[in-house]
Amino acid sequence: MKKILVIHGPNLNLLGLREPNVYGNTNLNEINKNLEKMAKEFGVEIKIVQSNHEGEIVDTIHHTLNWADCIIINPGAYTHTSIAIRDAISSVNIPTIEVHLSNIYKREDFRQKSFIAPVAVGQISGFGEHSYYLALEAAVKLLK
């Protein structure tokens, strides 16, 4: 059975409360439940992690080296600042899909640069919670 790791970065634990006009009204638990349901339907195993701490995200990526076949990551604000997360993804050589709820290219200038995109197989942004669902579908297709 193929295994997919989903990493939610900083402040995503506040979804549903945080700037709903930008990030929507769905909370992280709802997104996770939908991802778990979809994973079951697709016949893949899924592990979901959320962290507000850069080093913990790096450690999670390292620890998945012998487990995951694909990573889905929403690095949150670390998208635009973290060379450490970028290097961790590059180091493990596991296909990675970058996800964003909002369209980062329609936002502030500083949000339009991703350190993750160059080491990801693809990026899905701007579809709200559906960005995650599209990423899971893409990961399953990528692994077939």
Q: Which of 86, 74, 87, 89 is nearest to 124 (CA)?
A: 74
Backbone angles phi, psi at 15, to 5 degrees: -55, 145
Q: Which of 15, 14, 48, 13 is nearest to 33 (CA)?
A: 48
pLDDT tens by residue, 66-90 = 899 999 999 999 999 999 999 999 9
What does the alpha-carbon distance between residue 80 and residue 76 come to, in Å, rounded to a whole number? 8
8, 23, 78, 132: the catalytic one is 23
pTM of the entire structure?
0.94
pLDDT tens by residue, 6-42 = 999 999 998 887 776 766 678 999 999 999 999 999 9
8, 78, 80, 100: the catalytic one is 100
pLDDT tens by residue, 83-124 = 999 999 999 999 999 999 988 887 778 777 899 999 999 999
Query: Would residue 100 show up in a list of annotated catalytic residues for this protein?
Result: yes
- What domains can you pick out in the chain, each with its CATH number? 8-72+88-143 (3.40.50.9100)
